[in-house]
């Protein structure tokens, strides 16, 4: 038996027995799961043992009762933010990540300008999907690291904050995610759902809208898997007392026309002026309406974009976190265009190809400790449905070093399809799950 140090979970269990049980398809009890998460977070279970158990979960799954216990244990591994001092209803949004997904930069101030408070704890990008904090940190002076008291103060005064999660928020998830990332167990729906929802529930929000991306540039490429993940997360949120809804949204093409960091901030500001790309505006407004409905706040987000309230709130948020909303954004010193190979309609622009190109240009990172370029990225000068002529620039690549262009262009091979017929418009919001 493994001894639990004083202050740990009362009952100790044999980790090897738990590995065998889950390997053989048996359910773990609530007490066993509570001990397991506590012991791993506290360093009393070796990484190789937790890796074995995570792989068993990957293949055997978790029952609804096991998943609830697992998520609760992850939440209990750290603090739960108290937002009771915030005078307005709280509601957050979480996206599973995509290419050009700068929605949070628009959505948080937009919903706040309509009367709800948006407590958004976000992350940095990894691989081809961009991170919200990387984008905001392209703004001179912007500070993502807020203390709990600063976070609550921003919500009470400005009405929104986008900040990094502290080390004491679901620390079990931080440790377990790093392990899953190097052991081939990231794609497990129960482990994804508990990872996302433990942090969002611990964040303290009263309501949550999930934007589950579907398509080539998304983590979930198949709608069936995306639906299963959304249903699992909605169930976890609802059972924990957080009013939760999910939208499945398309991610076969980049969202908007910019993929990168500073370039996405520029596009987000245009959207806040009511001048954003139609697809970005449509998805943002759909999520905003869901958030306001869950928060039980009457408001018209389209009007808030049109009359300048949302942009004014954005400026307040940036300034409140130390940034200068009037400062020029970084611009990469080198650029190159990708021309259309033939005349016709753009029928497909693969989100994954564009995301990998932006990553190779320097806008993303391969490891969490890697730096990112604020100015690098891809500008889509044409999108599916647009008519182009042979030789017309359809993409603009930006980088700090010209040596990056060749690898970025290779990522785009086969990612753009041009044909004689105009493609049928594809829906952006695919399903609503509540």
Q: Give 263-299 pLDDT, tens digit per residue.
A: 999 999 999 999 999 999 999 999 999 999 999 999 9
199 is annotated as an active-site residue = yes
pLDDT at 343: 98
Cα separations in angstroms, 47 against 30, 44, 102: 21, 10, 35
173 is annotated as an active-site residue = yes
Rounded to whole angstroms, the Cα distance separating 19 from 55 reads 9
Tokens in use for 71? 């998520």
Tokens in use for 49? 């043992």
> What's the alpha-carbon Rg for the chain, to the nearest Å?
22
Active-site residue, selected from the candidate residues 128, 199, 227, 360 = 199
pLDDT at 128: 72
Active-site residue, selected from the candidate residues 22, 60, 93, 94 = 94
407 is annotated as an active-site residue = no
Active-site residue, selected from the candidate residues 124, 128, 180, 243 = 180
Neighbouring residues of 406: CB distance < 8 A, sequence distance ≥ 6: none
pLDDT at 12: 60
Rounded to whole angstroms, the Cα distance separating 72 from 34 reads 8
pLDDT at 182: 85
pLDDT at 8: 40
Active-site residue, selected from the candidate residues 38, 92, 134, 173 = 173
29 is annotated as an active-site residue = no
C-alpha 113: how far from chain center: 22
pLDDT at 146: 95
pLDDT at 126: 66
Q: How far apart, in Å, do the first and last CA atoms of the chain sit?
A: 43
122 is annotated as an active-site residue = no
Specify whether the backbone of 52 is left (phi greater than 0), alpha (psi in -120 to 50) or beta. alpha
Cβ atoms of 295 and 133 within 8 Å: the answer is: no
Total-model pTM: 0.93
Q: Which domains does the chain have, with CATH numbers?
A: 15-76 (1.20.970.10), 91-165+174-320 (3.40.1030.10), 334-419 (3.90.1170.30)
Active-site residue, selected from the candidate residues 77, 195, 198, 240 = 195
Residue ranges of the chain with pLDDT lower than 70?
Answer: 1-12, 126-127
Cβ atoms of 99 and 128 within 8 Å: the answer is: yes
Rounded to whole angstroms, the Cα distance separating 398 from 14 reads 54
């Amino acid at each position: 038996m493994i001894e639990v140090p004083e202050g740990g979970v009362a009952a100790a269990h044999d980790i090897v027995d738990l590995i065998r049980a889950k390997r053989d398809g048996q359910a773990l009890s609530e007490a066993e799961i509570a001990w397991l998460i506590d012991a791993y977070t506290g360093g009393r279970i070796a990484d190789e043992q937790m890796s074995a158990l995570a792989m068993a979960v990957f293949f055997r799954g978790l029952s609804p009762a096991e998943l609830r216990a697992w998520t609760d244990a992850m939440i209990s591994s750290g603090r739960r933010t108290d937002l009771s001092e915030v005078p307005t209803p709280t509601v957050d949004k979480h996206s599973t990540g995509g290419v050009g997904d700068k929605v949070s930069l628009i959505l948080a101030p937009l919903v706040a300008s309509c009367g709800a408070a948006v407590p958004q704890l976000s992350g940095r990008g990894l691989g081809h999907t961009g991170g919200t904090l990387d984008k905001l940190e392209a703004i001179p002076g912007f500070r993502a690291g807020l203390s709990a008291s600063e976070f609550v103060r921003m919500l009470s005064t400005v009405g929104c904050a986008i900040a990094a999660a502290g080390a004491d928020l679901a620390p079990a998830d931080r440790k377990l995610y790093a392990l899953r990332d190097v052991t081939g167990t990231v794609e497990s729906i129960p482990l994804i759902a508990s990872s996302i929802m433990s942090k969002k529930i611990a964040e303290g929000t009263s309501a949550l809208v999930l934007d589950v991306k579907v398509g080539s540039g998304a983590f979930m490429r198949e709608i069936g898997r995306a639906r299963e993940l959304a249903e699992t997360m909605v169930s976890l949120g609802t059972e924990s007392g957080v009013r939760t809804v999910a939208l499945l949204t398309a991610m076969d093409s980049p969202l908007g026309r910019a993929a990168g960091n500073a370039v996405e901030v520029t596009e987000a500001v245009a959207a806040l002026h009511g001048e954003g790309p139609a697809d970005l505006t449509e998805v943002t407004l759909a999520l905003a309406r869901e958030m306001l409905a869950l928060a039980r706040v009457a408001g018209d987000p389209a009007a808030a974009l049109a009359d300048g309230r949302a942009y004014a709130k954005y400026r307040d948020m940036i300034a409140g976190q130390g940034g200068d909303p009037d400062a020029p954004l970084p611009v990469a010193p080198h650029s190159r265009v990708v021309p259309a190979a033939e005349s016709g309609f753009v029928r497909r622009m693969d989100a994954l190809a564009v995301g990998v190109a932006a990553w190779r240009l320097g806008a993303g990172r391969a490891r969490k400790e890697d730096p990112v370029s604020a100015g690098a990225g891809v500008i889509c000068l044409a999108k599916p449905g647009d008519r182009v002529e042979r030789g017309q620039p359809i993409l603009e690549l930006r980088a700090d070093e010209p040596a990056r262009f060749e690898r970025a262009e290779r990522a785009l091979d086969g990612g753009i399809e041009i044909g004689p017929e105009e493609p049928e418009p594809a829906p952006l919001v695919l399903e609503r799950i509540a």
